[in-house]
Amino acid sequence: MAIRQLRYVNDPILRKKSREVTKIDDRIKTLLNDMVETMYENEGVGLAAPQVGILRKVVVIDVGEGILKLINPEIIEKEGESLDIEGCLSVPNRAGKVLRPERVKVKYLDIDGNEKTIEGTGLLARALCHEIDHLNGILFIDKVVEEVED
């Protein structure tokens, strides 16, 4: 495992759409493990592959309930609204209030290629939406309704 170099707000790769993962091989598994290590090293709760310069639909999340490794995640249900403060490892020293769904259901592949779904509320729902946005070239600052002091 290795700590990868983070990409920051003005890096054009963060604005590109990621490609679907068609084969879960050792490279994808290594990427996921490196992303987990990079996320923990930088004290984040989530990380998407574009944030380490890889345009693949891969995210890792840990909101305190254990590590989630999601391949080709896609939101299939949304419910409610929640306005809360977000930050991002790729946008240092900035935070803002972002409106997100209170509950989401996401389908994805696990590292063995099995299709799974996960439901999240609160912080997990927010992290899922935030990281999936990264796969579509969207940053939280695009959705901020009010900047706050970091």
Length of the chain as a residue count: 150
The single residue of 86, 131, 146, 147 carrying the catalytic annotation is: 131
- Sequence ranges of the domains in the chain: 12-148
Using H for helix, E for strand and C for coil, what is the string for 89-103? CCEEEEEEEEEECCE
Tell me whether residue 131 is one of the annotated catalytic residues: yes
Going through the chain in order, the beta strands assigned E by DSSP cover 46-48, 58-61, 68-79, 82-88, 91-100, 103-109, 115-121, 144-148
Entry pTM: 0.96
Q: Give, for all 150 residues of the chain, the pLDDT tens digit.
A: 799 999 999 999 999 999 999 999 999 999 999 999 999 999 999 999 999 999 999 999 999 999 999 999 999 999 999 999 999 999 999 999 999 999 999 999 999 999 999 999 999 999 999 999 999 999 999 999 999 976
CATH architecture of 12-148: Alpha-Beta Complex (3.90)
